Amino acid sequence: MSATATIIENAQKSGRKYLNEIESKQLLREAGVPTTDTRLAKSRDEAMAFAKEIGFPVALKIISPDIVHKSDIGGVKLGLGDGAAVGKAYNEIMAAAKATQQSSKIDGVSVQNMAKPGVEVIVGVSKDRQFGPVLMFGIGGILVELLKDVSFRIVPITRRDAHEMIKEIKSFPLLEGYRGSEPANIKALEDILLKVSELAAKTPQIKEMDLNPIFARRDDAIAVDARIILE
């Protein structure tokens, strides 16, 4: 059985439709999508040990099926430069999560390397009753809901479709290197769109998928956060 099938089966057996960030990234990596090195820490000591293995600086995020907007509740800490900072951040995240939503199920905290930033984009999948899986591309990060600058295609897509999706958004000049900023690697974004399309097409158990943000950089593109919801 593939890693993808095992993760989905384990979630379904435990009655879960929501894959956490760790599981979502495992599915994506299996499909060939580059993601940050992300590990689940269930204790302060484990978080500190993982951070040392991954290499500083690192980011910590709360992992809970009941907390969607992690940063709103103080569940995200970025740019942690040593073990002491990681230990302190772990304690603060757990305290904030418990204080905000006492009934929330908390799986732990993700520890991941701080990726070099780039233009923030989003790739998503949703299911249409008539057409099946639909792929979305657009400007990501916190601007996605504000700008709603996105393009859509029915899965599966071709490389030409992927190229057109990227060029269609109004913010495409940002990816070309607006006002002297570093341009993004368009082929790397096309590759991610093609691989997500293929994953959605061959995995009917996936209902929704969000890769946000993806950092689009000069040499590559990498998914920094991800979530998958099953049927």
Give the CATH number, domain containing residue 204.
Answer: 3.30.470.20
pLDDT in tens, 210-226: 999 999 999 999 999 99
What CATH code is carried by the domain that includes residue 85? 3.30.1490.20
Residue 5 inside a domain? The answer is no
224 and 126 share a domain?
A: yes
pLDDT for 143 equals 67
The domain boundary residue, chosen from 113, 140, 157: 113
Of 113, 131, 149, the one marking the end of a domain is 113
Instruction: Tell me the CA distances in angstroms from 97 to 21, 53, 58, 100, 158, one per residue in order.
Output: 16, 26, 20, 5, 42
Asked whether residue 126 falls in the same domain as residue 213, the answer is: yes
191 domain-assigned: yes
* Same domain, yes or no: 160 and 199: yes
Tokens of residue 202, six digits:
């061959």
53 and 129 in a single domain? The answer is no
Is residue 11 included in any domain, yes or no?
A: no
Domain span at residue 156 reads: 119-230
In a domain, 215, yes or no: yes
- Give the pLDDT score at 186: 98
The answer as to whether 15 is a domain residue is no
Tell me: cis bond preceding 173? Omega within 30 of 0 counts. no
Residues of the chain with pLDDT below 70 are 101-102, 143
Helix, strand or coil for residue 90? Answer: helix
Structural domains in the chain (count):
2
- Same domain flag for 206 and 144: yes
Pair 78, 150 in one domain:
no
Asked whether residue 107 falls in the same domain as residue 204, the answer is no
| 49 and 124 together in one domain | no
Given 86, 113, 140, which residue is the final one in a domain?
113
Strand ranges inside the chain, DSSP E: 18-19, 38-41, 58-63, 76-80, 108-113, 119-128, 132-139, 150-154, 206-216, 221-223, 226-230
CA dist list (Å): 200 to 152, 205, 230? 14, 9, 11
206 located within any domain: yes
